[in-house]
Amino acid sequence: MKVLIALEGPVAEGPNVWANSLYYYIASQFHNPGKDIINQVKTTNFKSLIKAIFSIRKYDIFHFYSQSYGAALLFLLCKILGKKIIFTMHGNMTIESKYKPIPIRWLWIPAHLFVMKNVDVVTYPSQYLKSSMSEYFKSKKQQKKYKFSHHVIPNGTLVGEYPVKQVNSRVNRLKEIKKGSSQLKILMLTSFYFEPKSKGIETLKETIEILNNQGIKTQVKIGGKGPMLEHYKQKFHNSDVSFLGYCDDKKELEWADIYVHLSYLDNQPLAILKAGAVGLPSVASNIGGIPEIYSFSSKDMVWGLTPNKPNIVANKIMDLISDEKFYLETSKKQYSNIKKNFSMATVGNNFWDLYTNIYRKN
């Protein structure tokens, strides 16, 4: 069995981090001496794309998520050659289409529907996204037409050892923060491509004002890029909020005391997984697929969810920083949850099982 997995653009951006980590995990864990069981194609890199096109016959399975022209070309070629195809859907096509430029906006949903109808398996990172798509098909009375095989396999991240020294260092800062002699470092990573995501910044700003009024000085950094970034920079140019644009999220996660993820649209953000993987406590909106991170099952429910109401978010943050023991306990529980349910090892094994199962159906 040979698998070709597509990577869309720079590794450090969005789902590319997930795809790249998945590729390297499978390559390292299921390697056969002298045989490349999985390879990667960078669909926006001309040289990599041409190489994949000329070697496509040797692969049994093509796994892609990207929406590039190169990925579309490989998808059609694999379909013609009768290869098994897996499509991972990361975004809600019905909402995303509204923010695409014309004429892409008109083609966005039809293109996704065509792909979903013509692959062997569709995977989603959350039950929320799967249900959203099911509701869409039901509203269009197209359940039978798009009755494809679909699975929920959560997003995953690399998880190392619990960073005891780093977390203890944060805990030791809490007394100074509560006294007002040190600033609470808040980090948020978002997308400036979709208004419902970036809208959470306004909720965060109101939250910060409440914290400042309660004597908690804050230093806030917001990372992310997209066409709406300049709009928000102008809107908050007199505030204490720093907009980082594209940033080294590993470095910023090490800098922060708390990760806050406020959004009005999210299927399953990788940023929350990354925060938990380094022991950084997080607070996040109780919307979309986010609750599935904090409540993976009745046995794996952890603290951190909040409605998008500034006063409640502020109280949530105060609860966290007011008690050193609770801060440390939250850090450990969130880390354990990510390691158990959202590590690349868990996700990689799930995808390997999926590859194996569809390959055996030949």
Digit-coded pLDDT (tens) for 15-37: 888 888 899 899 888 766 556 68
- pLDDT category at 247 given cuts 50, 70, 90 is confident
Angle (CA) 162-296-185 rounded to 5° is 45
3-156+343-360 and 164-341 share one CATH topology? Answer: yes
The CATH code of the domain at 164-341 is 3.40.50.2000
Average pLDDT over residues 333-354: 94
- At residue 237, the pLDDT reads 75
Domain 3-156+343-360 has CATH 3.40.50.2000: yes
- At residue 104, the pLDDT reads 82
C-alpha 32/C-alpha 13 separation (Å) is: 30
pLDDT > 60? residue 143: no
User: pTM (2 decimals)?
Assistant: 0.91
Q: Is 276 helix (H, G, I), strand (E, B) or coil?
A: helix
Supply the mean pLDDT for the chain: 90
C-alpha 129/C-alpha 265 separation (Å) is: 11
What are the distances in angstroms from CA 48 to CA 52, 75, 91, 202?
Answer: 6, 15, 25, 41
- At residue 77, the pLDDT reads 96
